[in-house]
């Protein structure tokens, strides 16, 4: 096996059917492509972290019969050896490199002012010259609106995308100081790039709602000359929707108490798989039945 893909759940709620569909598609692609699967649990944000959610990740993957080749085997192994909090030094090194290259600036704007996507400064912070050492200001990455990036699809074919056409502006790469830990953590975008580079990821499979996140991460890789990441292939699959035609989401309430766990909602893993559009997604990617 020469390449690597990953399961990358977050322990911020019980896993839902959308997570299961993503895992099944990844497992199928890994078998076809001969890729290693790494379990990477994104736990930087501890505000919604619960050990019960962490346990659910291992329980659901094992119940579904989806094995992985690299990464933690259980909760204790994860907390001791694989938590993202063990990689803070690696994240800090890349943040320092962005600073040295003049690719970031300090922003005073609140999260609500920037919007739900955490994109764009709502003021003129980019020219104010606020100190990057101020722990109560976030760091935004400067985005050239005329920038074009190349994203490789599943077949390895390049797709050229202009940022101005997607409306992608400056985005957060470092958060404010946390009141509980007094630490300044990297953003999801920065941590994701670092993790995929360190883990040797060659194929990323995620929902279509994360397409712009992929572009932001490619921009960071461009800023930092991380060629292994710019060579990654991407698949952005369709989303599962709830009865209101909204995407399934832990934050939207699709993952409440333990009764909402897939382990409680479905009698068997086979019944769950039969209800998911995995074969349809495979056909859309040109995979054999």
Higher-scoring residue by pLDDT: 260, 191:
191
Listed residue (84, 275, 288, 106) closest to 198, CA to CA: 84
Rounded to 10 deg, the angle between the 88-100 and 188-199 helix axes is: 110
Cβ partners under 8 Å of residue 45, min gap 6: 10, 12, 188
Higher-scoring residue by pLDDT: 264, 145:
264
Cβ partners under 8 Å of residue 283, min gap 6: 289
Whole-number pLDDT of residue 118? 54
Q: Where are the domains of the chain?
A: 3-284
Whole-number pLDDT of residue 2? 82
Per-residue pLDDT tens over the stretch 200-257: 999 999 999 999 999 999 999 999 999 999 999 999 999 987 666 666 666 555 555 6
Q: Where are the beta strands (DSSP E) in the chain?
A: 3-7, 35-39, 104-107, 138-141, 148-152, 158-162, 171-177, 184-186, 203-207, 233-237
d(CA 111, CA 105): 16
Domain 3-284, what fold? Answer: Rossmann fold (3.40.50)
């Amino acid at each position: 096996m020469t390449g690597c893909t990953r399961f990358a759940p977050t322990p911020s709620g019980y896993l839902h059917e959308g997570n299961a569909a993503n895992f099944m598609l990844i497992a199928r692609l890994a078998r076809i492509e001969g890729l290693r699967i790494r379990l990477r649990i994104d736990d930087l944000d501890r505000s919604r972290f619960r050990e019960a959610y962490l346990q659910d990740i291992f329980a659901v993957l094992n119940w579904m019969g989806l094995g992985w080749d690299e990464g933690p085997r259980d909760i204790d192994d994860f907390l001791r050896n694989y938590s993202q909090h063990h990689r803070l030094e690696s994240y800090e090194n890349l943040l320092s490199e962005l600073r040295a290259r003049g690719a970031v600036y300090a922003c005073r704007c609140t999260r609500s002012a920037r919007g739900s996507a955490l994109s764009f400064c709502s003021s003129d912070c980019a020219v104010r010259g606020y100190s990057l050492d101020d722990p109560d200001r976030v760091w935004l990455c400067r985005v050239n609106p005329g920038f074009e990036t190349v994203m490789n699809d599943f077949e390895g074919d390049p797709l050229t995308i202009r940022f101005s056409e997607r409306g992608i502006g400056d985005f957060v790469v470092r958060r404010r100081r946390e009141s509980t830990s007094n630490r300044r953590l990297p953003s999801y975008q920065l941590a994701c790039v670092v993790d995929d580079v360190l883990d040797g990821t060659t194929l990323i499979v995620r929902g279509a709602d994360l397409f712009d996140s992929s572009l932001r991460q490619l921009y960071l890789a461009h800023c930092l000359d991380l060629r292994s990441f710019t060579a990654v292939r991407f698949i952005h699959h369709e989303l599962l929707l709830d009865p209101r035609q909204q995407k399934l989401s832990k934050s939207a309430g699709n993952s409440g108490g333990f009764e909402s766990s897939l382990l409680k909602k479905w009698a068997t893993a086979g019944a769950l798989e039969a209800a998911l559009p995995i074969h349809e997604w495979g056909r859309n990617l040109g995979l054999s039945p």
